Structure formats: structure tokens, C-alpha cells
């Protein structure tokens, strides 16, 4: 029976795609999947690499959320109007 690591549970709870995390840490999807299922031995180096990847995802999402918020401001009260194609 496969174990679910904290990384996998966290990723799934917050809708982080495996490809997004793999891109952030430079590992293949397959390797990352095996690691987060506990099929690859945990090492301090891998833990550090994965922690950095999660922090990268958080930072990227914060930037995206901020950009969305900025674009939303002038559209308040006009969300269902036809867009100018911008």
C-alpha cells in the first residue's frame, strides 16, 4: 500500500498541479510523483529542493493573484459587460 506524504496532501488540498511543482523544482513529473508517494527515499537535499519549489509556487501565485486584483479594480460593476478584446 502506498503512503501519501505531507507534500502530496498539501499539493492536492491547494490545487497545485504536479506539473506546476515539477517545473518549479526541475524534476520530472514521474520522479516527483514517486517521491510524494513515499516510493523514493527522503533525503535532506530532496526535502530542500521540494521546499524551495513549493515556495516558488506560492510566490508565482501571489504575483498572479495581485495582477488579477489590479485588473479587477476598474471592472467593478461592469463584469458582465462585453469586453473590448483586451
Q: Label each residue of 40-67 as H, E or C.
A: CCCCHHHHHHHHHHHHHHHHHHHHHHHH
- Identify the three-state secondary structure at position 68: helix
State residue 57 phi and psi, 5-degree precision: -60, -45
The dihedral of CA 7, 8, 10, 11: what is its sign?
positive
Interval 16-75: pLDDT, tens: 999 999 999 999 999 999 999 889 999 999 999 999 999 999 999 999 999 999 999 999
Amino acid at each position: 500500500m502506498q503512503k501519501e506524504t505531507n507534500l502530496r496532501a498539501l499539493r492536492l488540498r491547494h490545487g497545485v498541479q504536479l506539473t506546476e511543482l515539477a517545473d518549479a523544482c526541475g524534476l520530472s513529473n514521474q520522479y516527483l510523483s514517486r517521491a510524494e508517494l513515499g516510493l523514493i527515499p527522503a533525503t535532506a537535499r530532496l526535502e530542500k529542493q521540494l521546499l524551495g519549489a513549493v515556495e516558488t509556487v506560492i510566490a508565482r501565485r501571489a504575483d498572479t493573484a495581485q495582477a488579477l486584483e489590479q485588473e479587477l479594480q476598474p471592472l467593478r460593476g461592469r463584469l458582465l459587460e462585453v469586453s473590448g478584446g483586451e
